[in-house]
Amino acid sequence: MLILTLYYKMLCPYIFYFIYKAKSCKLVHIYKKASNGEIQDINAELSSLSKALNKRADLLGIHHDKKFRNLNGMKMMYQNVVYVATNGKQGLSAVSHAIYAVYDMSQKSPDVFEMLLTEFNDRYHGN
């Protein structure tokens, strides 16, 4: 029981960020893959993320228009991740707390980060 309680306390902050800021998790993943040279076309990845977030909104019954999580917005949020990852040397500085927290999680708890990323991909990138 103690182990489950400790595990729950460790995961709680991450579950919150997954529920409310799932896009940050995917954006950090895209940044890391692009930094390693595994992604050549960042715009294609960001466009795919935009479609996934729109799919999520549809599934959750959230009314939205063409501007909701569009490619330009994804590019701006991606630059926020760049800002965090480069310690402010590059990117856009208007970074949300969620991006800082998710990036930190990706560094300190990569297994939890991967679990949340897999969950996001399974739910919203599937057919």
Identify the pLDDT of residue 63.
Answer: 80
- Domain map of the chain by residue range? 21-124
Is the model more confident about 60 or about 38? 38
In this structure, are residues 17 and 25 in contact, taking their beta carbons and an 8 Å threshold?
yes
Is the model more confident about 103 or about 12? 103
Identify the pLDDT of residue 123.
Answer: 81
CA–CA distance, 78 with 99 (Å, rounded to integer): 10
Identify the pLDDT of residue 126.
Answer: 60
Average pLDDT estimate for 23-45: 94
DSSP string, 7-76: HHHHHHHHHHHHHHHHHHHHHHHHHHHHHTT--S-HHHHHHHHHHHHHHHHHHHT----TTTT-HHHHHH
pLDDT band at 6 (very low <50, low <70, confident <90, very high): very low
Is the model more confident about 91 or about 112? 91
